[in-house]
Every structure is written in C-alpha cells, then in structure tokens.
Amino acid sequence: MSKAIELTDDGLVQRMIAGDEEAFTLLYRRRHPAVYRFVLHMGGNAAIADDVTQEVFMALIRDAKRFDPARGNLSAFLFGVARNHLYKRWEQDRRLVPIAGDADDPASFANLKGAGNGLTARSGGRNGHNGSGGGNGNGHRPATIGDELIAKETVDRVRQAVATLPENYREVVVLCELEEMSYEAAAAALDCPIGTVRSRLHRARMILIEKLREPQAVRRASAVGE
C-alpha cells in the first residue's frame, strides 16, 4: 500500500486499469469525499449522493480510459461525470430536489451525521485570509456554546442560500468555494470556458450576499419549503 499511496492519480488510474484493486480502493478513498459532497450539495439528498457517487466510480471502473490527463485532473473528470449523472437523474425526475427545508426526510442534508458537528474554522476565509464577517473560529479563545450556536446558524444560513441558487451558479460555488478548485479545474469539470466560470461565480456570490443580507427572507422560504 505504501507504494500506491505515493502514486499520483494518473498512476493509480493506470494501475487500476491493469486490474489493481488496491489502486482502485486508494483512488476511491482519496477522491470520493469531494464527489460525494458535490453531489450532496447539488442534489440535496444523501440517497441521491450515494447513488450518484457509486455511478461515478462505476463509470471510472468501466471507462477509465476515457480519462485524459491532458484535459484536466482526475477530480475534474469525476466532477464532470457526477454532474452528467445528476443532470440525467434530474431529467428523469423532471424536478430539482430541494436541498433544504425537509427536516422530516432522514436522508436530507440537514440530518446527515457529520454535517453540523461543531464548527472549527481552518484559518478563516480564502487563502488563509480571515474575513471580518464571522468572528469565531480563529482558535484564539475557546468556543462557547453560544459561539457554536451562532456559527451553526451562520453555516445553516449559507448552506440554505447556496441550496437555493440556480444550479449553474450553485455548481461553481460548490466547486470553486467549497471544494476550492481553481477556475481552470472547474472549467474542465463543467466543460465550459474559464471566463464563464468566473462570471458565474461573481454573479453567484452577489446573489448569496443578497440572500444573506436578508436572513428572514431565507427563513421564510425555508418555512414554505417545509
């Protein structure tokens, strides 16, 4: 296993194609969390996320030769496959699954284990820059229960705001903000020009700022969703 760990994604894919189960296991464990989170944010439902994640890696098993490192890294390839599967599923369902508001749905995002178990912000903000809006999470003082609640509320609000974005905006927010992908990698995953990713992200961020300015409106929308 130690040798395999050192291998790059491309190397692991080659070994996987040759039938190396260990390489596949390593690839899956390395790359599935991001794919799973992406699908979860886009689909809003753990059952869908389970299915689509499985389909994505099934596609990798069947058609690993379709992955061309020259066109982007493996993550971008997997996100692209996940996105295609999601779109197919949405076409079949003829409706977009709402991400939030269904508190009774045991598979809904809000009821997932892990999501919402205490906030400990990394360094705060993009690229280590500590934003001025959140306050908590720098590790300078121990988080109190009150801080935790405020932080949880903040996260829930932004989660809900992201969930209500149009899907073409949502996917760039998930990829570029939550998964911290570069514009270039996101463009490869979404199969669109870098400029499109940039402009969509700017627009999406403006929409999010608007939504977060009016928390009450979001809450009302959530209540209607329930």
Partner 1 sequence: MSGEVIHMNCKEFEEVLHDLDRPGTHGFDLDLREGALLHAEGCSHCAQLMTESESLDFSLHALALRDDVLLAPAHVEAQLLNQFRQHRDAVSSSRSRWRLVALATAAGVLLAAAGSFHHWSFSGMGSGAGSDSGTHMGSQPGTNGTVNNISGSTAASNVGNVGAAESTSGAQGAGSEYASAFVPLPYADDPSTLEGGMIVRVSFSQPALASLGLPVTDLGAAEQIPADLVLSEDGTPQAIRLVSQTSANQ
22-30, 67-75, 78-86, 94-102 -> range binding partner 1 (CB under 8 A): 22-30
Query: Which residue in 12, 13, 26, 40 binds partner 1 (CB under 8 A)?
Result: 40
Query: Which residue in 75, 154, 164, 222 binds partner 1 (CB under 8 A)?
Result: 154
30 binds partner 1 (CB under 8 A): no
67 binds partner 1 (CB under 8 A): no
3-state secondary structure the chain: CHHHHHCCHHHHHHHHHCCCHHHHHHHHHHHHHHHHHHHHHHHCEHHHHHHHHHHHHHHHHHCHHHCCHHHCCHHHHHHHHHHHHHHHHHHHHCCCCCCCCCCCCCCEHHHCCCCCCCCCCCCCCHHHCCCCCCCCCCCCCCCCHHHHHHHHHHHHHHHHHHHCCCHHHHHHHHHHHHCCCCHHHHHHHHCCCHHHHHHHHHHHHHHHHHHHHCHHHHHHHHHHHC
Residues 9 and 15: their CA atoms lie apart, in Å, by 10
201 binds partner 1 (CB under 8 A): yes
Q: How far is the CB of 33 from partner 1 (least distance, A)?
A: 5
Q: How far is the CB of 84 from partner 1 (least distance, A)?
A: 18
Query: Which residue in 10, 184, 214, 226 binds partner 1 (CB under 8 A)?
Result: 184
Query: Which residue in 130, 214, 217, 226 binds partner 1 (CB under 8 A)?
Result: 130
Using the minimum distance from each CB to partner 1, give the nearer residue, 61 or 149.
61
Q: Contact positions toward partner 1, by CB under 8 A? A: 16, 19, 21, 24-25, 28-29, 32-33, 36-37, 40-41, 49-50, 53-54, 57-58, 61-62, 112, 114-117, 119-122, 124-127, 129-134, 137, 151, 154-155, 157-159, 162, 173, 177-180, 182-184, 198, 201-202, 205, 208-209, 212-213
